[in-house]
Structure 1
Amino acid sequence: MQTLPNSLPAQVTFKGSPEGLRLILPVELPWDEIVLQLQHRLNAGERLWQGGASVVLEVGDRLLDGQQLTALDEALAGQQLHLMRVRTGRRQTAVAAAVAGFSVDQPEKKAPQEGEKSPEVVQVEPLYVQTTLRSGMCLAHPGTIVVVGDVNPGAELIADGDILVWGTLRGMAHAGARGNTRALIFALRLRPTQLRIAERVARAPDEVPAQPQPEVAFIQDNTIHIAVTTEFARRRN
């Protein structure tokens, strides 16, 4: 059985935090060494956790696919640890994590310097995910989020830009999370538990249309309004 030399500093690290146990993977290490170091840390007896603890995986700009994320999840599960959230700067990793059923955080855009564009102008590429978000999942992205699938009750979408759901939105959606009052929330069926745009909060009307139509939520006169997309387009023209 291969073991880590005592002289080699462990670069795969666990750190405690209020949100759970943080597992930090260095970007520069090869995948095989990541696996080796993780096994060493899990079996070394340096227990910073109790069984059943939640884990936030922090990978920076490291690219991970679904199989690698599953391998990490299984290794953690062997020690009764639960991988709940992936924090990544790579869109490909974010998509793989969401499809695998994990919550996703992406770093917020840095505050603009003097002479740069307004913070309401989101310049980050959209996060495109083709999956159904289950209860307990959360996607947070510093640009626009596009979900092809349903967002179930208990799931959350948080975007600095717009939110587009090509399915039924039954969870919570927060667009313009950093104050962009021009952000929009679109869904083929809009049945959310809560809608937020910038600092405004609303929920879907109690009355359900007899014939569902695509709808969009937007801010007008400091209030969130919901309109059928065709009506919204006429208002903007």
Structure 2
Amino acid sequence: MNPESTTSPPNVSPSPPKPYSQVHLKRAGKKLLLILPDTEPKDVNKDWVELLQDLKYCLNHHKGTWTPGTAVHLLVENRLLDNRQFHDIGEALESAELKLIRVFTSRRQTAITAATAGYSVEQEAPKRELLFIEQPTPSNLTEPLHLKTTVRSGVAIRHPGTIIIQGDVNPGGEIIADGDIIIWGCLRGIAHAGAKGNRECCIMALRMQPTQLRIADAVARAPSENPDMIGPEVAYITSEGIRLKSALNFSKTHTFTPSEKGWTEKLTANLG
């Protein structure tokens, strides 16, 4: 039997379960979707104890319907989760031979906590037709997402605004932003700025050693040789594709030209 949505185990009391005590487990192709309620509880500690019990019951009820190591995507919408709660979820899934891979959330702090814990994050409303839930309509979703962490291999961060990383992006790590990408560290993984087609977006890093750079629909791979000069650089798009340049005074020497669909040098920059 395939996993279906489930609710809390029956209690002695005939009253229906509280809305926030419902946990849903659904299959989506080769992965499982774990959906937690979006309602903010009045008693956080009591709510989490009940929710964790429901999760364990749900996993035990459907035990044997998945292969060991099946990937799980966690959907929490606007619910706030802290480090301890992510640890509890990961531990419960691990005991059921499942692995938490990706977290969907519209809550900024939850996205930060999940990324810091090493999970891939999408701070964006998932598609309703895939997940069978109402899309959240949070405010300020496109404000910059600021993370103080190292993005490890296998971790992907997706955000509908600008992403700022205080740390390195290791090979195998992926950053996808509809806005700019700023890496206050070494970029060794994949970075995709202007993911929805904004060619004005840039990628900046203290050290550029990317596996791949993408801006809007343009793609560039890292040079085969390491650059002689090491320092902050900016990747930007021109009419001829993606280019790299020292980040020093870039905004003073370059301007985005809509007619060229890319950045060009300012005339004053060539006058000395």
Q: TM-score, normalised by structure 2?
A: 0.77
Partner residue in 1 for 2:229: 211
Change (3 A) 1:190 1:57: same
Superposed CA RMSD = 2.3
Q: What do residues 11-61 of structure 1 show as CA deviations (whole Å, max 9, x unaligned)? A: 201111136110000112632221121011012246442211010000000
Partner residue in 1 for 2:56: 39
Change (3 A) 1:55 1:205: same
Tell me how far 1:209 sits from its aligned partner. Answer: 2.4
Distance 1:133 1:225 in 2: 24
The reply on whether 1:194 has 2:212 as its aligned counterpart is: yes
8 Å Cα contact 1:172-1:193 kept in structure 2: yes
Distance 1:234 1:204 in 2: 26
The reply on whether 1:83 has 2:100 as its aligned counterpart is: yes
The reply on whether 1:22 has 2:33 as its aligned counterpart is: yes
Q: Which runs of 4+ in 1 moved over 6 A?
A: none
Tell me how far 1:164 sits from its aligned partner. Answer: 0.5
The reply on whether 1:101 has 2:106 as its aligned counterpart is: no
Partner residue in 2 for 1:160: 178
Tell me how far 1:231 sits from its aligned partner. Answer: 5.6
Over alpha carbons, which structure has the higher Rg? 2
Partner residue in 1 for 2:9: 4
For structure 1, the residue ranges without an aligned partner over 5 or more in a row are 111-121
Partner residue in 1 for 2:143: 125
**What is the aligned residue count?**
224
Partner residue in 2 for 1:176: 194
Letter in 2 for 1:154: G
- Percentage identity across aligned positions? 49
Change (3 A) 1:150 1:19: farther
For structure 2, the residue ranges without an aligned partner over 5 or more in a row are 1-7, 42-46, 128-139, 255-265, 267-272
